Amino acid sequence: MENFEYYVFARVLHVAAVILWIGGVAMVTTVIIPAIKKLASGEDQIRTFEQIEGRFALQAKITTLVTGLTGFYMLYELDGWDRYLDYRFWWVHAMTLIWVIFTVVLYILEPFVLHKLFKKSAEKNPIKTFSFMHKLHWILLVLSLITTAGAVAGSHGWFIL
């Protein structure tokens, strides 16, 4: 590999960005949403969630961008595009899929669609809205953790299949 130092730097940035991104998702899923669901009024729930989510959204946007750029750079440097054709590298597919889902949600759906839908739904029925949102966060978190575990194992040569 011609640019080994750049590759290593990209991997370090990639892992750090994933830690901040998925760690933030874990914090929102396991701590913040449950705490918000316990607030007395729907108005307090909405206001508190929007304050916290607004701060985390910027971190999530930056870390998903860094994750995507470094991930595709590493694939380019490794000339690893054929990994998409090998089922043993399922985690490359999973990483790409998780990244695409979060990127579409963060950059397109949340600012243009989901924010309005959330606010309207939460005003009508905050309990149902936060429960639904919590379930979606759990699904994304579990898929992200499975993907991360597979990526760590696979990048170190351990193939389950």
Q: What would the two tokens of residue 117 be?
A: 């839908």
Residue 41 scores a pLDDT above 80: yes
> Is residue 27 classed exposed, middle or buried when 0-12, 13-18 and 19+ CB atoms within 10 A define those classes?
middle
Tell whether 161 is covered by a domain: no
Confidence of residue 54 (pLDDT cuts 50, 70, 90): confident
Tell whether 102 is covered by a domain: yes
Count of the separate structural domains present in the chain: 1
Q: What's the pTM? A: 0.92
Spatial contact of 22 and 103, defined as CB atoms under 8 Å apart:
no
Tell whether 82 is covered by a domain: yes
pLDDT by residue (tens digit) across 129-160? 999 999 999 999 999 999 999 999 998 988 77
Tell whether 160 is covered by a domain: no
Q: What is the CA radius of gyration of the chain?
A: 18
Rounded to an integer, the average pLDDT of 95-102 is 98
125-57-13-135 Cα dihedral, nearest 10 degrees: 0
Q: In terms of residue numbers, what domain contains 134?
A: 4-155
